[in-house]
Structures are given as C-alpha cells and as structure tokens.
C-alpha cells in the first residue's frame, strides 16, 4: 500500500485558513529566490508545480493566495500521520513527511481486506488530521505508487495482482520509474510510447538504447519489483538550512541565522528523543561553491545554544570569506538516544539554564502550538511607525 497526502502543505495551512478552501493557494516564501513548496489543485490548473520558482508561479497564477510555510507544524502533523500508519502495521517505510509504503499482509486478519484497510486509513486521516489522503494498493511497491498517483486527489485505487499486467500496459511509458523527459524522447524516436511497447521490446534493444536503465524499465513493464517495505531506522542526522533572498557578507546576519537554525534543529532532536555528538556547518557562496566543516563535541547535546556555540566557532574559524554567502545550513550528526540528566554541564550552570529554558519552550509550543516564542535576537526588527507584533521574547 502507498499512502500519499493530497497537497500536504497546502492542506495543513488550510486548517488555519478555511476561508481559502477551493481557492488557488501556494505555499512558499516570498523572497526573490523562493520556490513553491506546494500548490493547491486549483493553482495547479494554471500550471503551478512544486519546486517551481515563486516568481514563475505568480506570473502563471497572479490571483493565488501565497502562504508562508510553517515547518514545525508540518512536522507535528507528520508525526501524527505516521502514528496512524504504525497503528495499522509495524511495517511502515516513510518516503517523506507526507507519504509512506505500508506492508499490510499481516494486518488483514485483524482489520479486513486491503480495500477496507485503505478506507480505514483515509477515514482516520480525515477525522483525526482534517486533511485527505490518496491510497494505492497492489502486489508491488512500484504499482502501488502508480495507483495512489492515479487516484488523486482523495481517492483509492486497488490493482489486484492478476490485473497488474493489464493495468500497467494501458499506461504511458512515463509511468515507469527511471523514464524522465530525455529517456521518453529516446524511446519515442524508435516508436516506444507505452508501457506495453516497452514490455514487447527485447531487453537487449532497451539496453542498447538506455544502458543499464534498459533492463530496469523492462522488468518494471512486466510488474516485477522485488523490493519489500523496509521500516526506516533512526535518523543519522537532523538539520536545517536557509537560502537568503540576497547574498550576505555580514557576520552578524549569518550568526543570527545560525541561531535560528540551531533552535529548529535542537527542537527536532528533542522531539525525537535524540542528541548529537557532532555538528556541521554548510555554506554555499554566490558562485554556488559549497563548503562544509564539522566539529566533534566533547559531550552529546540536544541544546540549541550549545549547537549554536559550536557551529559559530566553525564560522569564525573560517576567517575572511572569499565571497558573499547564498545559503547557510546547520546539521546535527552522529545521533544517539538522549540520556537526559546524564549530560555534562559547565561548572557555572549556564548549559543547564539554557537547557531548562529550551525545555520550557518545548512545553509551551506543545500546549499552545506555533506560539511564536523565540530568543529576542531572532525577532524581526519593527518598521518605523509600527508597534510590536505577537511574537514573544524569551
């Protein structure tokens, strides 16, 4: 089974803005280099797509309402979504925050046939999260993924094992994994335009045309996909990064952004019950040259302040930079389960104070949601003639 949310980021934002249901909506930043994170189906009718430059999206659909993303909210909803999946089967393989493969073979005796289980998941997602899901069910991961895509939005498609070949052979060749625009053009030049055409082409011919990909698409055209659902192991790293709307060459701006990224990263670690033994700094310069530096910590941490101090030291150690910075990132690496009070503290208790403050911040945000509480340094400066907003200083 492949379960995929419908326009996930937009759907979550519409929980806050029900007045925009049915209208063209785009989620993404407003900066000059921003891209579309998600678009409602109403906006997609105008050609707006994920990862498209925001400037292009606004030209295609000038009437669209543009909403800024709220990543922490998406992560919380995603965690609840994965909880629903885990209650159905222990064999869950997340692909992203809003989709996953589920092996439900062992759940059918308890919950019923596949279509019933798919309906149960869709109903719970709607009732518990307020968003919609599309479900594809098949004998293989590949066909299940195609089925969920073809059932969008808010649908369910079951492809019985005995109907797999007939289903696949009715599709355009672009349905096969590994067949992008260039591969499709190469196949079209020799008269191959459908999955059935691929299936009826000798593998040797496909290999001459496509190299190693040839045998891969041939196997898929006959529904052969031996991969099993593999539950994802503990994350090896957690991080965040930011692309600036204009290149930055001031240390204070870079340091402030690192503090923001440290809080986002540390909050995710604490929510997952993890701490890290090393931290990495990532810089991408205006010519797209990318540099990374890593520091091993003396003790495992899950505190934003300690992450920030370590990564700021990496930034300082670089000295004078050759050019302005386009993107900055922070990543906590070598993760392990948190040990709570076993973490070593400084003699004057400063680390303990920071950690206690961050614990309080976590509790407030869990209780009241996206409250806007943050370190004072991260508050946006007020414009002349305006009064303070709703963000709180910590």
Q: Are 214 and 207 in contact (CB under 8 A)?
A: yes
Domain that holds residue 23: 7-70
Same domain, 41 and 122: no
Q: Which two tokens stand for residue 201?
A: 């082409």
Which residues line the annotated binding site for Mg(2+)?
4, 98
Same domain, 307 and 182: no
pLDDT at 360: 61
Q: Are 315 and 258 in contact (CB under 8 A)?
A: yes
Domain containing 366 — which CATH number? 3.30.1490.100
Cα(327)–Cα(247) distance, integer angstroms: 8
Cα(151)–Cα(2) distance, integer angstroms: 11
pLDDT at 213: 82
- Quick one: which H or E segment has residue 352? helix 350-368
Q: Please check whether residue 227 lies inside any domain of the structure.
A: no
SS3 (DSSP) at 59: helix
Q: Please check whether residue 204 lies inside any domain of the structure.
A: yes
Q: Please check whether residue 200 lies inside any domain of the structure.
A: yes
SS3 (DSSP) at 257: helix
- Quick one: which H or E segment has residue 304? helix 304-317
Output the tens digit of pLDDT for each of the chain's 394 residues: 999 999 999 999 999 999 999 999 999 987 767 889 999 999 999 999 988 889 999 999 999 999 999 988 998 999 999 999 999 999 999 888 899 999 999 999 999 999 999 999 999 999 999 999 999 999 999 999 999 999 999 999 999 999 999 999 999 999 998 788 888 898 999 999 999 999 999 999 999 988 878 898 999 999 999 999 988 655 678 999 998 888 998 999 999 999 999 999 998 888 877 889 899 999 999 888 899 999 988 888 889 999 999 999 999 988 877 889 999 999 999 888 775 434 444 334 444 455 566 666 656 655 555 555 566 666 655 433 333 333 333 3
Q: Are 89 and 231 in contact (CB under 8 A)?
A: no
Domain containing 134 — which CATH number? 3.30.70.270
Q: Is the pTM of this model over 0.85?
A: no
pLDDT at 344: 41
Same domain, 141 and 273: no
In sequence order, the β-bridge partners of residue 92 are 102
Residues 250-273 as b or e (16 or more Cβ within 10 Å = b): eeeebbebbbbbbbbbbbbbbbbe
Same domain, 124 and 217: no
Dump pLDDT digits (tens) for 266-281.
988 888 778 898 999 9
Residues 340-353 as b or e (16 or more Cβ within 10 Å = b): eeebeeeeeeebee
Cα(39)–Cα(242) distance, integer angstroms: 21
Same domain, 336 and 245: yes
Q: Please check whether residue 392 lies inside any domain of the structure.
A: no
Q: Are 53 and 35 in contact (CB under 8 A)?
A: yes
Q: Tell me the CB-side half-sphere exposure of residue 133, using CA atoms within 13 A.
A: 28
Same domain, 153 and 181: no
Same domain, 125 and 149: yes
Same domain, 204 and 124: no
Same domain, 94 and 189: no
The domain boundary, picked from 51, 70, 89, lies at 70
Domain containing 14 — which CATH number? 3.40.1170.60
Q: Active site residue: 13, 99, 257, 358, which one?
A: 99
Number of domains composing the chain: 4
Handedness of CA 11, 12, 18, 19 (dihedral sign): negative
Domain containing 180 — which CATH number? 1.10.150.20
pLDDT at 292: 92
The domain boundary, picked from 70, 90, 119, lies at 70
Q: Which two tokens stand for residue 313?
A: 């030291």
Please provide the DSSP assignment of 131-183 as one string.
--EEEEE-SSHHHHHHHHHHT-SS-EEE--GGGHHHHHTTSBGGGSTT--HHH
Whether 333 sits among the annotated catalytic residues: the reply is no
Q: Please check whether residue 283 lies inside any domain of the structure.
A: yes
The domain boundary, picked from 46, 70, 94, lies at 70
Q: Please check whether residue 231 lies inside any domain of the structure.
A: no
Q: Length of the chain in residues, anyone?
A: 394
Same domain, 246 and 215: no
Q: Which two tokens stand for residue 268?
A: 């995710």
- Quick one: which H or E segment has residue 295? strand 290-301
Task: Check residue 53 and report its DSSP letter.
Answer: B
Q: Please check whether residue 77 lies inside any domain of the structure.
A: yes
SS3 (DSSP) at 57: helix
Q: Are 329 and 261 in contact (CB under 8 A)?
A: yes
Q: Tell me the CB-side half-sphere exposure of residue 116, using CA atoms within 13 A.
A: 8
In sequence order, the β-bridge partners of residue 279 are 295, 332
Same domain, 58 and 102: no
SS3 (DSSP) at 211: coil
Q: Please check whether residue 386 lies inside any domain of the structure.
A: no
- Quick one: which H or E segment has residue 78? helix 71-88
Same domain, 242 and 369: yes
């Amino acid at each position: 089974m492949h379960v995929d949310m419908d326009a996930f980021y937009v759907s979550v934002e519409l929980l806050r803005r029900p007045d925009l249901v049915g209208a063209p909506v785009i989620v993404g930043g407003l900066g000059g280099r921003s891209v579309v994170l998600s678009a409602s189906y109403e906006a997609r009718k105008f050609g707006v797509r994920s990862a498209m430059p925001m400037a292009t999206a606004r030209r295609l659909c000038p009437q669209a309402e543009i909403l800024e993303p709220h990543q922490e909210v998406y992560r919380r909803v995603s965690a609840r979504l994965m909880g629903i999946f885990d209650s159905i089967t222990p064999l869950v393989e997340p692909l992203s925050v809003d989709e996953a493969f589920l092996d439900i073979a062992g759940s059918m005796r308890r919950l019923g046939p596949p279509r019933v289980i798919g309906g149960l998941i869709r109903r719970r997602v709607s009732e518990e999260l307020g968003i919609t899901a599309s479900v594809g069910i098949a004998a293989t991961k590949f066909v299940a993924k195609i089925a969920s895509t073809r059932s969008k939005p808010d649908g369910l498609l079951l492809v019985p094992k005995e109907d797999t070949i007939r289903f696949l052979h009715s599709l355009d060749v672009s349905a096969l994994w590994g067949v992008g625009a260039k591969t499709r053009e190469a196949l079209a030049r020799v008269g191959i335009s459908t999955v059935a055409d691929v299936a009826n082409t000798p593998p040797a011919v496909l290999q001459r045309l496509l190299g190693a990909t040839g045998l891969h698409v041939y196997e898929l055209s006959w529904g052969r996909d031996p991969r099993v659902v593999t539950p994802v192991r503990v994350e090896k790293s957690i991080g965040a990064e930011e692309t600036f709307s204009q290149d930055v060459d001031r240390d204070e701006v870079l340091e402030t952004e690192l503090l923001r990224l440290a809080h986002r990263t540390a909050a995710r670690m604490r929510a997952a019950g993890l701490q890290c033994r090393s931290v990495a700094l990532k810089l991408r310069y205006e010519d797209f040259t990318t540099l990374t530096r890593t520091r091993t910590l003396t003790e495992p941490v899950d505190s934003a302040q300690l992450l920030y101090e370590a990564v700021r030291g990496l930034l300082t150690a670089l000295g004078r930079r050759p050019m302005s910075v386009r993107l900055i990132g922070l990543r906590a690496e070598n993760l392990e389960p948190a040990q709570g009070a076993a973490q070593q503290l400084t003699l004057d208790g400063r680390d303990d104070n920071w950690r206690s403050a961050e614990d309080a911040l976590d509790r407030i945000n869990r209780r009241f949601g996206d409250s806007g509480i943050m370190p004072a340094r991260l508050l946006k400066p007020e414009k002349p003639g305006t009064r303070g907003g709703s963000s709180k200083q910590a």
